[in-house]
Amino acid sequence: MAYFPEITSPIQFEGKGSRNPLAFKYYEANRKIGSKTMAEHLRFAVCYWHTFRGVGSDPFGIGTMDRSWAAAPDPLQRAKDTMDAAFEFFTKLGVDLWCFHDTDISPEGNDLTEYAKNLDEIVAYAEEKQREHNVKLLWGTANLFSNPRYQAGASTNPDPHVFATAATQVKHALEATHRLGGAGYVFWGGREGYDTLWNTKMQQEREQFAALLHMAVAHKKKIGFDGPFYIEPKPKEPTKHQYDSDVAACLNFLREFDLMEHLKLNIETNHATLAGHSMQHELRSAREAGALGSIDANTGDELIGWDTDQFPTNLYLTTQIMLEVLAMGGFTTGGLNFDAKVRRQSHESVDLFYAHIGGMDAFARGLEIAHTIVEDGRLDRFVEERYSGWNGDLGQKILARTATLDECEAFALANGEPTRKSGRQEFLENLINEFM
């Protein structure tokens, strides 16, 4: 049975002149940009939760989505139907990576024993599907935020019994990821924060979170999983404050608890916005710390101000993202995971195709533009020139931390008032527009 009958053959590249809304205008998987193909640069992944399990509910209304795969009354059958729909979608879209939470793919059951049994059965099913469709797993994760037991957090819960339950889920989700050949594993601490400090031991909760991560590192070694762990910053929502609130807070947390060598960051645009940063800022902060791992590709709405997880279509955004990805030398284990959902009014299954095609085209165009900016070299040359004074003797001594305040004073007195130089912001913004 086909769950997307309106898509009769895989989505094709038709080029910029095409008027077919179900074709790529820019994304041409095998076209080379520099030394790699577009597919190799972009490493697109489809997320399971929004795409196949999202119902379109919001705080004011129930779900709206028409999803033919969600009809079977038996939960395991429904999970298998959903997986059939997912792999049909990946193949028709032409994306060969996916991401999931344990509870997206498999029913939780009535207790942890049933949870583990169901997950086992569904992972076996997914293994077959991956083989049959030639699809790989970008990353897996555990949902430690939806079940009511996690209302006060998972690893950061005041009750160690809840910690142990969360740790059990992490163990199984990590083993499932390993079994499916996942390239990485994500920790997003949805409720690892607080709603009010009146009832919270903040430092202890941060220590508990670190303890879980250390246990996961030990377990990863034990089972032989060699992909990286990623931590995904987000400042709030659902909690008032999340401990891994932005890249800087995550880096501080990882350094404080000796986790730097074990985790990289998975950075999401709408989370950056909620933290009051640009995506460019968050990516730059992680990249320059050598900790940029993977990206959750989406965008927010300037006027709504929640985590709306919309599909990215803004070319300035995708260009800035791809400039950072190129600057780090490209993804290794990471990729661009569409952690994005169609709007509540886009309730037909075909809308999932429009959404992903648009996101993929926006990133393909962003990649082309970023590559041209790098090749052109004017932007890089401007920045190099702006800092060129630091190549001199004084600059080198300051950076090596061998200069003293006395030496600085001697230099300043001998050389008089410094000459001011324009930062040329408008000139550079115009330069970027040459490439858009």
Query: How far apart are CB 202 and ligand XUL at their closest, in Å?
Result: 21
- x/- mask, Co ion, residues 260-279, rule CB under 5 A, reads --------x-----------
> Of 390-419, which residues contact Co ion (CB under 5 A)?
none
3-class DSSP assignment, residue 148: helix
Active site residue: 81, 96, 102, 104, which one?
104
> 3-class SS at 37?
strand
Q: And the tokens for 94?
A: 């032409």
Q: Which amino acid, one-letter code, is at 14?
A: E
- Sequence-separated (6 or more) residues with CB below 8 Å from residue 247: 233, 265, 267, 277, 282, 285, 286, 289
Closer of 141 and 285 to ligand XUL (Cβ): 141
If the CB atoms of residues 38 and 340 are measured against ligand XUL, the closer one turns out to be: 340
Chain centroid to Cα 382, Å, comes to 31
Q: What are phi and psi of 108, to 5 degrees?
A: -70, -25
What is the distance between the alpha carbons of residues 300 and 74, in angstroms, rounded to a whole number? 36
Residue, CB closest to ligand XUL: 188
Cβ-contact 367, 38 below 8 angstroms = yes
Where does 229-349 have alpha helices with state H? 247-256, 269-274, 279-288, 315-327
Least separation, in Å, of the C-beta of 357 and Co ion? 21
Beta carbon nearer to Co ion, 324 or 339: 339
Q: Which residues form the interface with ligand XUL (CB under 6 A)?
A: 101, 141, 186, 188, 232, 234, 268, 296, 307, 339
Give 7 or 119: the residue with its C-beta nearer to ligand XUL. Answer: 119
Check residue 239 and report its DSSP letter: S
Indicate if 104 belongs to the active site. yes
Contact 311, 355 (CB under 8 A): yes
Decide whether 118 or 318 has the Cβ nearer to Co ion.
318
| Closest approach of ligand XUL to the CB of residue 234, in Å | 6
Catalytic annotation on 246? no
* Of 141 and 177, CB closest to ligand XUL: 141
Could you tell which of Co ion, ligand XUL, none binds residue 175, using a CB distance below 5 to 8 A set by kind? Answer: none
Which residue in 104, 175, 244, 296 binds Co ion (CB under 5 A)?
296
The interface partner of residue 129, options being Co ion, ligand XUL, none and the CB cut-off 5 to 8 Å by kind, is: none
Nearest-approach distance from CB 271 to ligand XUL, in angstroms: 6
The identity of residue 193, as a single letter, is G
Q: Which does 307 bind (CB under 5 to 8 A by kind): Co ion, ligand XUL, none?
A: ligand XUL
Contact, 44 vs 97, CB < 8 A? yes
CB of 211 to Co ion, least distance (A): 23
- Give the interface segment with Co ion, choosing from 100-108, 146-154, 155-163, 292-300 (CB under 5 A): 292-300
Q: Which residue in the list 41, 50, 101, 172 is annotated as catalytic? A: 101
Distance CA 250, CA 209 (A): 12
Binding-site partner at residue 264 among ligand XUL, Co ion, none, CB < 5 to 8 Å by type = none
Indicate which single residue of 339, 341, 360, 364 sits in contact with Co ion (rule: CB under 5 A): 339
Smallest gap from residue 296 Cβ to Co ion (A)? 4
Pairing of strands 292-296, 336-338: parallel
The dihedral built from the CA positions of residue 74, 76, 77 and 78, taken in this order, carries a sign that is positive
Token pair for 132: 């049959």
Contacts of 183 by beta carbon, 8 Å cutoff, 6+ apart: 97, 136, 137, 138, 139, 227, 333, 334, 335
| Closer residue to Co ion in complex, CB, 339/361 | 339
CA-atom Rg of the chain in angstroms: 24
Q: Which does 186 bind (CB under 5 to 8 A by kind): Co ion, ligand XUL, none?
A: ligand XUL
Residue type, 257: F
Catalytic sites, residue numbers: 101, 104
Binding site for Co ion (CB under 5 A): 268, 296, 339
